[in-house]
Amino acid sequence: MAAVPASVNVPAGVTSATFPITKSTVTTTQTATISASYGGATQSATLTVNPQGSGSVSLASLSLNPSSVKGGNSSQGTVTLTAAPSSATSVSLSSSNTSVATLPASVTVAAGSTSTTFTITTQKVSSSTNVTITATNGGVTKTAVLTVTSRR
């Protein structure tokens, strides 16, 4: 997974040296310990090798709290990304039934954050109605079902 030279020359008067690390392709995140020894002392560092393309940010989850509300009350939605983006990232949102549950068309996850919340406003209904809330980002779509109940 990771290969380093068997030895590295540190010139006189210098306290460090650089060396190449050759990594192989991995399909899951792997860790390797790299150690250096001199004069009876050993120092180690952990190297994490990620799968190619794993540095990208995409949608990890969509959750609703509560997932069931009486019509006329609101629910809080949360979108969570796989990692904190380096710049603000937009997540598209939609409702399968906008006459029962409305929400913003999109939300923005701030740079350095992994999640943000939004409000889902519901209308009164005569019978229990399931509404699918959809979030999309980075080619990934997540759904969650909000149950809107009657006030009877």
Q: What is the pLDDT of residues 92-133, one digit of tens each?
A: 999 999 999 999 999 999 999 999 999 999 999 999 999 999
Q: Are strands 89-95 and 106-109 parallel, antiparallel or unpaired?
A: antiparallel
Q: Closest Cα to residue 35, out of 47, 26, 44?
A: 44
d(CA 44, CA 56) in angstroms, rounded, equals 29
Note the pLDDT tens digit of each residue in 33-83.
888 888 899 988 888 776 555 456 889 999 999 999 999 999 999 999 988
For the chain, domain boundaries: 2-49, 59-149
Report whether CATH 2.60.40.10 matches the domain 59-149. Answer: yes
